[in-house]
Structure 1
Amino acid sequence: MKEQIIEKATEMFLNIGFKSVTMDDISAEMGISKKTVYQFFRNKSDLVGHCCKHILNIIAKDIEEVESWTLNPIEEMYEARKVLLRRLKNEKTSPVYQLQKYYPKIFESLRKERFDMMDGCVVNNLKKGMEQGYYRDNLDVEVISKIYHNGVTGLKEKDMFWPQHYTVPYLMNVFLEYHVRAIATPKGIDTLNEILVKERNKSAIPPQTKEENGR
């Protein structure tokens, strides 16, 4: 039952928001009493913390699976991006903002764990790309991995990237292309262009919002 509660609560938190969803909402959605929920979790903060760890564990397993595929490093980056967006429900701004505002300790802990996970993945990808000739061989792997993390995190700055003007998937695509072009060899650029053509043909790159297109 505990795992079922975590799974349902995670889904609701990501779709509606960490502050907006109450313990009553979760128990009603599952058809159980609130007392049953409190048998497994001390309070809502305890449940939120478990849900955040649940999200990270799922993403980590998904990325491990992507890394096991026979992909070149640039394809690997694009597939990992799809995993992140799918698992985080395209990272809707409201849930992330609510987590940061109302559960700051959990948010900071989650950010550190997410950094550790992403940093290892990006470092491995950079090394793989350098070895296979897709990325330049003189890259400072440690510095670039941190620049990448800070860039991805910065996309959530509402004062800079207004959600009514930009969708998170659109920003992720712009940033990922920017990242790869900055480190790629001619071989890597050719591969990147092939991926972008395929994605555009499949309409996989989310467009800017109507407001942004009209600016």
Structure 2
Amino acid sequence: MVFKVSILFLLLLMKEKIKNTATELFLNLGFKSVTMDDIAHEMGISKKTIYTHFNNKTALVSEVTSSLFCAISEGIDVICSVEKNSIEELYEIKRFVLEHLKNEKTSPLYQLQKYYPKIYATLKKRQLELMQDCVVENLTRGVNSGMYRENINVDFVSRIYFVGVVGIKDNDLFPTNKFPMDVLMDEFLEYHLRGICTPKGLETLEKCITTNQLS
């Protein structure tokens, strides 16, 4: 019994190592360009070992993206639980997401949409559900605290924010050589907030922009 448990643990550990290595390679080099051979070479194992845990590359991409989504979701929940002011919260979430996605150097969501449309569609649905709750709560708290204008349509603004976050990841519209993702996210966030902030909120926004530029 102990032997079987040990074998199971080792198998789970290997699967996790494969997933972690694949995640690093996918985010740094792109979902399209990284092959199963690349992952095996990086780990110093045979490709057959990878196929023991994942039937094909699509299955591996699916699990990697799902794990990334869960990790980011949990991190965002922690940030929101602190209940900073609404503007600071959005900047903190932006920093956290970019760190986990390696500043999106390879435009991972855009590559998913192009090469793995089914996985992308599932992820987009989960992302919408997560962001809808998070952004609606952020907007409501911002209005109540006087940071955001009272007359904003919370449901509309939350959805247009989601469209913007997804849209700026379109590499055809915003090529990374012209629009680095960290700069693009800063520009979009400022654009979003200037449209809904009160004078009080704009003061906080200016402080966040200055702090962000210095960091």
Please give the TM-score of this superposition, normalised by the length of structure 1: 0.88
**Structure 2 letter corresponding to 1:49:** S
Q: C-alpha separation between the residues in 2 aligned to 1:94 and 1:78?
A: 20
Q: Which residue of 2 is the match for residue 28 of structure 1?
A: 41
Judge conservation of contact 1:63–1:80 (CA < 8 Å) in 2.
yes
- Given candidates 49, 58, 65, the residue that maps to 1:45 is 58
SS in 2 for 1:183: coil
Q: C-alpha separation between the residues in 1 aligned to 2:191 and 2:32?
A: 34
Structure 2 residue 188 is matched with structure 1 residue 175: yes
Q: C-alpha separation between the residues in 1 aligned to 2:124 and 2:83?
A: 29
- Given candidates 156, 159, 162, the residue that maps to 1:143 is 156
Q: Which residue of 2 is the match for residue 85 of structure 1?
A: 98
Q: Which residue of 1 is the match for residue 25 of structure 2?
A: 12
SS in 2 for 1:159: coil
> What's the offset of the Cα at 1:33?
2.0
SS in 2 for 1:156: coil
- Given candidates 69, 72, 78, the residue that maps to 2:82 is 69
Q: List gaps (5 residues or longer) in structure 1.
A: 205-215
> What's the offset of the Cα at 1:17?
1.0
Judge conservation of contact 2:28–2:106 (CA < 8 Å) in 1.
no
Q: C-alpha separation between the residues in 1 aligned to 2:165 and 2:83?
A: 25
Matched positions, count: 202
Judge conservation of contact 1:93–1:156 (CA < 8 Å) in 2.
no
RMSD after superposition: 1.5
Q: C-alpha separation between the residues in 2 aligned to 1:140 and 1:94?
A: 31
Judge conservation of contact 2:76–2:93 (CA < 8 Å) in 1.
yes
More displaced 10-residue stretch of structure 1: 143-152 or 61-70 = 61-70
Judge conservation of contact 1:16–1:95 (CA < 8 Å) in 2.
no
Please give the TM-score of this superposition, normalised by the length of structure 2: 0.88
